Chain A
Amino acid sequence: MSDEIKHFSMGGIEIPARKELNTDLEIEELPLPEVVYLPVRQHIGRPGKITVKKGDYVKRGQCIVEEQEGVSARLHASLSGEILDIKEIPDGRGGKSEAIIIKRDQNAEVKRINFSLKTKKEKSAEEIKEIIKNSGIIGMGGAGFPTHIKLSPPADKPIDTIIINGSESEPYVSVDDRTMQEKTAKIFRGLELIKKMVGAKNGFIVCEENKEKAIKKLASEAKKWPELSYQVVDSLYPHGAEKMLIEACLNREIPEGELPMEVGVIVNNVQTAVAVAEAVDEKQPVVDRIVSVSGYGIKNPKNLIVPVGTPIKELIDYCGGVVSEDSILIIGGTMTGFKAESTEIPVTKTGFGIIILSESEYKEYESRVCIRCAKCVDACPVYITPNRITDFINNNYLEEAEALSLASCIECGSCAYVCPAGRPLLRWLREGKARVRERNN
């Protein structure tokens, strides 16, 4: 790709990136927790079929939930030990979901992930797809779409470009940043595998300009992979959104309501690429995930590699606990994530961050009257008009809201971030989308 720093055409906001806390911290291993809670459904789509029962002994890496027909994904045990129970636990978004609880066997020997690239053995496209499916890989940037489905587009939609998304525009989080610095070779290897599997011509890794160290690493590694490259984009929020990324890098616009494959592109997160490389080369299913524990409310911010299902309490304790009892706990990013009500909630495959905000930093919504300042309109990266759409949603005119492209909203939160009247625009937009889904069902 070109050396030029690219950016998308309209909207976007400048947010303080706050990466200084975590960008220089090496990824550490969290000591294995005593108990893990593995929610059965961590991906988008249908939940899988549980293949174990209470009292069974499982080994780390053993498949405990099989995928079903259609959009579905596997799940593997992240600890060796006995299954304590299968029951409903809070899912961190105000609802409940079924989870498998495993108690660790103290004597089991556990091999953790190594950071260097091991043997490269060539595999065919079919084999790669099978391995990806069997390893339970889902979109690990936050969306959680099963990767084996994403990477098998219908035959009439040829894919020419694979983008590996390393533009981590959420403040505080440094998961992709650290991965690009420490597992650079694995990312390129993952991209090579995905590219081969899909049969795409081009493949590149995208990184934001404010991650200088990661860019340097990518630049030196790219010399070893003649067919792959990297691209730098500017650090406007939300560059991590795939629509924005495709527009910035390739100047292609995805038609309304369609997927990126419509324009011949597949976007995968850096973590997903690493997971693909580890699954194919090291036969390692997704049992661990890298999490940034950050924010000015935590004593020692850290980047941790933790078994999937670890309660976030363990991570916070390992990082020295919170500075003050008033601080607010966010799971995911501060823009798109959810406020956690308890510390029992487990880390899922898509959970990239645990952010502890001090109370003064936390935005309390006041919902004052809209002064029509149009800041939300100017901030919106898909240039819809959040002020009008939310007015329609709040008065229950769903058709009108849909006519204004409610479905185009990527839920980045830029509108609510800039609103001077403190209106919770993103909540209302999500509410509107939920109501539309409800009506359609």
Chain B
Amino acid sequence: MDLKLSGPHIGTDDSIEKTMWNVVLALIPAAVAAAVFFGYYALFLIFSTAVFSVLLEYPFTRKFPGDGSAFVTGMLLGMSIPADSPFWLPLVGAFFAIIIAKQLFGGLGNNIFNPALAGRAIIRLSFASYFSSWPAPFDGITGATPLAHRAADSSYTYLNQNGLSGIWNLFSGNIPGAIGETSALALLIGAAFLYYRGYIEWRIPGAFITAVIITSALLGVNPVLSVFSGAVILGAFFMATDMVTSPAAREGRLFFGAGCGALTVLIRYFSSYSGGVTFAILTMNGLSYLFDHLFEGFHYGQYQIRKRNYKIVGASIIAAVIIALFSYFSLLIA
């Protein structure tokens, strides 16, 4: 049998380029929102980083404008910095993102860590002073993000002070924060577009946001504030769903998203950094191949194995509940 003659002989007109430029399109609403809230300098930061990233990649791929992945990386990086950053800050980040995190690992498809987030993590740690205060929309007066409010005062002064309009501001993006992450509305429009085109799937963002809500509730943090402040929406729909650095297996994706969400809240709550999304996703990126292996899931025809495993899991949950109840009541009696 000569496999060169084998099919399928037809295919979708989908390509890597198409995938990447669709992500760029999906980021446009957030860029527009950034321009509205933070002025044209924010827009300049986003696109200068994107173009610079493409130029940085040119020596490696010898293609212009390349497959679009560098443009996406640059846009995401430009969106994750404060609007009053000096112009060179994201360019330094782009250098680390494209050269160190991506091309030194072997280029698109072989990088382990999300390049945009790796670049951001490096500038976040190296130039920490630029990330300590965030300009508020419209007036440009710098202030703490709602997250920092919360970190300072666990009674959520932000929401308590602002009430319903506070929630609307959180959702629409009228809050201090990084350029592209504040407007949940604009990001969700882009995410809906990607979902409609089939470039993202519900598992990672769904598990991410569910885990954020559950972990916040367990720690006594307001879940609404957790989800709509900081980079959770941007992270869940655009960063964690980065194809290269997330697991491919179905169940692996669920665990990956859940891990990102839980770690985000834990880092925010216990560490001194206000933004936990970057480090949470980078940590989980490192685990993504392992998750592919561990959570491969069942294949067609393994019905019996599946049934047995469900029984084991069910029995252990019931046992755990019984032990917990028993110890609780014995404590009560004592």
Chain B residues with a Cβ closer than 8 Å to the other chain, count: 43
Contact of A335 among B10, B198, B243 (CB under 8 A): B10
Q: Taking the complex as formed, is A93 at the interface, i.e. its CB lies under 8 A from any CB of chain B?
A: yes
Contact check, A334 vs B243: say whether CB atoms are below 8 A apart. no
Contact check, A339 vs B8: say whether CB atoms are below 8 A apart. no
Give the docked Cα–Cα distance between A82 and B292 (Å). Answer: 61
Contact check, B5 vs A339: say whether CB atoms are below 8 A apart. yes
Contact check, B11 vs A422: say whether CB atoms are below 8 A apart. yes
Interface residues of B in 166-207 (CB under 8 A from A): 198-199, 201
Q: Taking the complex as formed, is B308 at the interface, i.e. its CB lies under 8 A from any CB of chain A?
A: no
Known contacts A336-B7, A383-B299; A434 and B1 CB within 8 A of each other: yes
Give the docked Cα–Cα distance between A171 and B10 (Å). Answer: 10
Least distance between A168 CB and chain B CB atoms (Å): 16
Contact of A372 among B12, B109, B302 (CB under 8 A): B109
Interface residues of B in 190-249 (CB under 8 A from A): 198-199, 201, 243-249
Closest to B109 in A: A369
Q: Taking the complex as formed, is A188 at the interface, i.e. its CB lies under 8 A from any CB of chain B?
A: no
Contact check, B4 vs A408: say whether CB atoms are below 8 A apart. no
Contact check, B244 vs A334: say whether CB atoms are below 8 A apart. no
- Name the segment of A139-147, A248-256, A269-277 touching the other chain: A248-256
Closest to B249 in A: A385
Contact check, B301 vs A330: say whether CB atoms are below 8 A apart. no
Give the docked Cα–Cα distance between A95 and B5 (Å). Answer: 11
Contact check, B2 vs A430: say whether CB atoms are below 8 A apart. no
Give the docked Cα–Cα distance between A173 and B166 (Å). Answer: 60
- Name the segment of B14-22, B76-84, B94-102, B156-164 touching the other chain: B14-22
Known contacts A357-B10, A363-B8, A377-B248; A256 and B108 CB within 8 A of each other: no
Give the docked Cα–Cα distance between A330 and B304 (Å). Answer: 40
Contact check, A373 vs B292: say whether CB atoms are below 8 A apart. no
The A contact surface, by secondary structure, is loop
Known contacts A387-B248, A420-B16; A382 and B301 CB within 8 A of each other: yes
Contact of B301 among A10, A256, A333 (CB under 8 A): A256
Give the docked Cα–Cα distance between A375 and B198 (Å). Answer: 9
CB contacts (< 8 Å) of B198 on chain A: these are 375
CB contacts (< 8 Å) of A330 on chain B: these are 7, 9
Known contacts A93-B2, A171-B10, A420-B16; A370 and B301 CB within 8 A of each other: no
Q: Taking the complex as formed, is B309 at the interface, i.e. its CB lies under 8 A from any CB of chain A?
A: no
Give the docked Cα–Cα distance between A75 and B104 (Å). Answer: 61
Contact of A420 among B10, B14, B110, B292 (CB under 8 A): B14
Known contacts A93-B5, A337-B9, A363-B8; A257 and B14 CB within 8 A of each other: no
Q: Taking the complex as formed, is A258 at the interface, i.e. its CB lies under 8 A from any CB of chain B?
A: yes
Contact check, A362 vs B110: say whether CB atoms are below 8 A apart. no
- Chain A: number of interface residues, binned into ranges: 35 or more
CB contacts (< 8 Å) of A374 on chain B: these are 201, 243, 247-249, 253
CB contacts (< 8 Å) of B5 on chain A: these are 93-94, 338-341
Contact check, A383 vs B3: say whether CB atoms are below 8 A apart. no
Give the docked Cα–Cα distance between A369 and B107 (Å). Answer: 9
Least distance between A439 CB and chain B CB atoms (Å): 16
Contact check, B301 vs A258: say whether CB atoms are below 8 A apart. yes
Q: Taking the complex as formed, is A347 at the interface, i.e. its CB lies under 8 A from any CB of chain B?
A: no
CB contacts (< 8 Å) of B109 on chain A: these are 369-372, 421
Known contacts A373-B19, A381-B300, A413-B7; A418 and B248 CB within 8 A of each other: no
Closest to B14 in A: A420
Closest to B9 in A: A334
Closest to A370 in B: B109
Contact check, A253 vs B301: say whether CB atoms are below 8 A apart. yes
Contact check, B8 vs A413: say whether CB atoms are below 8 A apart. yes
Known contacts A243-B300, A408-B301; A372 and B243 CB within 8 A of each other: yes
Least distance between A427 CB and chain B CB atoms (Å): 4
Contact of A336 among B8, B14, B292, B297 (CB under 8 A): B8
Contact check, A385 vs B10: say whether CB atoms are below 8 A apart. no
Among A255, A370, A420, A430, chain B packs the most CB atoms within 10 A around the CB of: A420
Contact of B299 among A256, A355, A421 (CB under 8 A): A256
Which residues from chain A sit less than 8 Å from chain B, CB to CB? Answer: 10, 15, 93-95, 171, 243, 247, 253-258, 328, 330, 333-341, 355, 357, 361-363, 368-375, 377-378, 381-385, 387-388, 404-405, 408, 413, 416-422, 424, 426-427, 430-431, 434
28 A-B contact pairs sorted by A residue (CB < 8 Å): A93-B6, A94-B4, A243-B301, A247-B300, A255-B301, A258-B301, A330-B9, A334-B7, A334-B10, A335-B9, A357-B10, A363-B8, A370-B109, A371-B244, A372-B244, A373-B19, A373-B199, A374-B201, A374-B247, A378-B250, A382-B299, A382-B300, A383-B300, A388-B296, A408-B299, A421-B15, A430-B1, A434-B1
Q: Which 5 A-B pairs rank lowest in CB-CB distance, beginning with the nearest?
A: A94-B2, A382-B300, A256-B301, A369-B109, A413-B8
